[in-house]
Amino acid sequence: MLNGPEDFARITNAAPAAAHFGDFMLGLPGAVENICAAIAAGTTAIGNLGQYFTFRLPYWDDDIATTRSTVVALGLIAAQKSQVLVHSNLDDGFAGLFLDMACALGMVLIEKHIVEGLIGGTLGHCYGHHFSDPLSRSAFHAALARVSSTPGTMIFGNTVSYQSASAGNYASLASYLLTDILDVRRWPSGHAINPVPVTENQRIPDVDEIIDAQTFAHRLAEHAPFYDPIFDWSKVEAMADTLVEGGNRFAKAVLDGLADRGVDTNDPAALMLAIRRMGPKRLEALFGPGRDTQQGRSPLVPAEWARELDEKAAAWISKQTPVDRKLTVCVGTTDVHEHGKYLVTQALVGLGVAVSDAGIAVDPEVLVAHAVETGADAIAISTYNGVAFRYAQAVKAAMADRNIDLPILIGGRLNEVPTDTNSGLPVDVTEDVAKLGCLPCGNLDEMLDALRKINAIPEAVAS
Ligand code: B12
């Protein structure tokens, strides 16, 4: 937590390296104060425009104030005598949610139009969390290098591939890092590579874990050049062609389409707000470059995260027998992470359960109100930000206010940083959440067990 300008300065002065203030600067109501402090501390890359489009603070719905502060802050960055790069992590924005990677590249062009074309700043991009397949990861890098003349900030680790214990996660680290090292050698873009500690899928890391990952990357960078000759780069180039062509079409369609709907696309605030309010699903459905089919748009380059989750859900559903009684579950998330909800929704629908969608980063009272309005038989919460216990407590309280007590299923990362610790590391709160009367679920099988416990699904359903 940075409490004042002196905290920003403490970071930039900690080591003779260029400090990068990546997250929670732009895109939030406090953007102007944050940017002033970051610039005064001497940083040269400040983010995170991607977060503007998706992040919501609890109990804060004034998207106009958020937009205003972000646009003013962008203007402040652009007005500096020495060049300061605006940073945008595409995966924090819509790249983690589009089903077509061409749309993610299109967002690069739209963000450039806003920051460089309309505000006069310079914008550098970061990508990587959701790009698991080496071919499309590499192709995205090649495509990005073609459409961008500014230095990139970093290629973020492919964190969604961390699904194992530490030893298994080292394989995922090697897999994406080798690709990234070869990519930045082939298409020098200024991006730093980012070795993510192998405890990523459990919690925030400690210092030793960060050093281990850096040591691993350093050694891999010595091996990597010898792999270059064994890759067929023409396949990467061909996919990059598709991404650039599709991305350009998407960006043009978005700008033309919004203009047709009365949005002033030369006004950064109006444009940003329209894009944020529309969200990735509608933008993609209306303006995506893929062919329109009965099942929606067919992506030019399918997003890996969705393919993986679709396969996981289908494999699980194929082992179950559908429920034959009417049942509605109200599903919502406590924060920006929505892939858990995506998977749980598919699994429930596959079981024949009706899902009422309370949304993303939804406040506890709104979640409960939605459950009541839609006549839900149970509530399912997906939570990742280390607020599981507090949030579950608040949902219980909101239900008590209405004299109801629906069963609560809860999954994701059930941890919290205790108030009486100075380590900053979160601890598991599964037991505490269970003591509140909630049903913690580590996976879909446990979800089925939980549904059985509340007698929503008879024992015979699972085959
Ligand atoms: C993808 C991701 C993101 C994406 C999210 C994209 C999106 N729009 O959804 C982005 C890049 C935006 C992101 C942002 C952040 N993230 Co993040 N993110 C992840 C990551 C890599 C994967 C989480 C995920 O979606 N998994 C996919 C799901 C399907 O898999 P799963 O978790 O195994 O799910 C299973 C079960 O949990 C269960 N399940 C899940 N939910 C539910 C619900 C119910 C009801 C049931 C029955 C079951 C169930 O179902 C699955 C099947 O088995 C994790 C690390 C990791 N590898 O797990 C970090 C992680 C969750 N993120 C983290 C953090 C800190 C953040 C940020 C705060 C970082 C930052 N500085 O900005 C921000 C969030 C800010 C905000 N406003 O909320 C931390 C949380 C720390 C903690 N609690 O200890 C993690 C653990 C990374 C880390 N080690 O630091 N993140």
Per-domain residue ranges for the chain?
5-260, 319-461
pLDDT > 90: what percent of the chain?
Answer: 90
Right CATH number for 319-461 from 3.40.109.40, 3.40.50.280, 3.40.50.300, 2.60.40.10?
Answer: 3.40.50.280
Residue 143, class by beta-carbon neighbours within 10 Å (0-12 exposed, 13-18 middle, 19+ buried)? buried
Task: Supply the residue whose CA is at minimum distance from atom 32 of ligand 1.
Answer: 412
According to the model, what pLDDT value does residue 202 have? 87
Question: Measured in angstroms, how far is the CA atom of residue 337 from the centroid of ligand 1?
Answer: 5
CA distance 440 to 414: 8
The answer, yes or no, to whether residue 240 has pLDDT greater than 70, is yes
Ligand 1 atom closest to Cα of residue 380: 45
Question: Measured in angstroms, how far is the CA atom of residue 163 from the centroid of ligand 1?
Answer: 11
Ligand 1 atom closest to Cα of residue 337: 9
According to the model, what pLDDT value does residue 462 have? 45
Residue 414, class by beta-carbon neighbours within 10 Å (0-12 exposed, 13-18 middle, 19+ buried)? buried
Q: Hey, CA dihedral for 159, 163, 164, 168, is it positive or negative?
A: negative
According to the model, what pLDDT value does residue 454 have? 82
Cis peptide before 13 (omega within 30 of 0): no
Question: Measured in angstroms, how far is the CA atom of residue 172 from the centroid of ligand 1?
Answer: 17
CA distance 429 to 414: 6
350 HSE (CA, 13 A, CB side) = 21
According to the model, what pLDDT value does residue 463 have? 44
Least Cα distance to 50 among 139, 132, 156 occurs for 156
Least Cα distance to 253 among 270, 265, 239, 268 occurs for 265
Residues 102, 250 contacting (CB under 8 angstroms): yes
According to the model, what pLDDT value does residue 461 have? 47
Chain mean pLDDT for the chain: 95
Task: Supply the residue whose CA is at minimum distance from atom 11 of ligand 1.
Answer: 92
**Structure letter (DSSP) for residue 114:** I
Least Cα distance to 101 among 136, 49, 138 occurs for 136
According to the model, what pLDDT value does residue 172 have? 97
Each residue of 52-76: pLDDT tens digit?
999 999 999 999 999 999 999 999 9
Residues 135, 239 contacting (CB under 8 angstroms): yes
Each residue of 169-196: pLDDT tens digit?
999 999 999 999 999 999 999 999 999 9
Least Cα distance to 425 among 415, 435, 433 occurs for 415
Task: Supply the residue whose CA is at minimum distance from atom 91 of ligand 1.
Answer: 337
Q: How far is CA 296 from CA 284, 288, 350, 431, 441, in A?
A: 9, 10, 19, 42, 31
Average pLDDT over residues 267-286: 97
pLDDT > 70: what percent of the chain?
Answer: 98
CA distance 407 to 437: 8
Question: Measured in angstroms, how far is the CA atom of residue 412 from the centroid of ligand 1?
Answer: 7
Which among 26, 338, 379, 384 is the best mutation to test ligand 1's pocket, defined by most ligand atoms within 8 Å of the CB?
384
Each residue of 280-299: pLDDT tens digit?
999 999 999 999 988 889 99
Each residue of 246-263: pLDDT tens digit?
999 999 999 999 999 999
| Strand 415-416 relative to strand 427-428, pairing | antiparallel
The answer, yes or no, to whether residue 457 has pLDDT greater than 70, is no
- Ligand 1, CB within 6 Å, residue ranges: 23, 55, 91-92, 96-97, 129, 159-160, 162, 200-201, 203-204, 335-340, 343-344, 380-382, 384-386, 409-413, 415, 426, 441, 443-444, 447
What class does CATH assign to 5-260? alpha beta
According to the model, what pLDDT value does residue 343 have? 97
Each residue of 345-354: pLDDT tens digit?
999 999 999 9
The answer, yes or no, to whether residue 102 has pLDDT greater than 80, is yes
Ligand 1 atom closest to Cα of residue 199: 89
According to the model, what pLDDT value does residue 211 have? 97
Confidence of residue 164 (pLDDT cuts 50, 70, 90): very high
372's CB contacts (< 8 A; 6+ apart) are: 402, 404
The answer, yes or no, to whether residue 424 has pLDDT greater than 80, is no
Q: What is the CA radius of gyration of the chain?
A: 23
CA distance 112 to 313: 36
Which among 55, 337, 433, 448 is the best mutation to test ligand 1's pocket, defined by most ligand atoms within 8 Å of the CB?
337
Task: Supply the residue whose CA is at minimum distance from atom 3 of ligand 1.
Answer: 337
The answer, yes or no, to whether residue 303 has pLDDT greater than 50, is yes
Residues 252, 263 contacting (CB under 8 angstroms): no
Task: Determine phi and psi for 329, rounding to 5 degrees.
Answer: -115, 130
The answer, yes or no, to whether residue 145 has pLDDT greater than 60, is yes
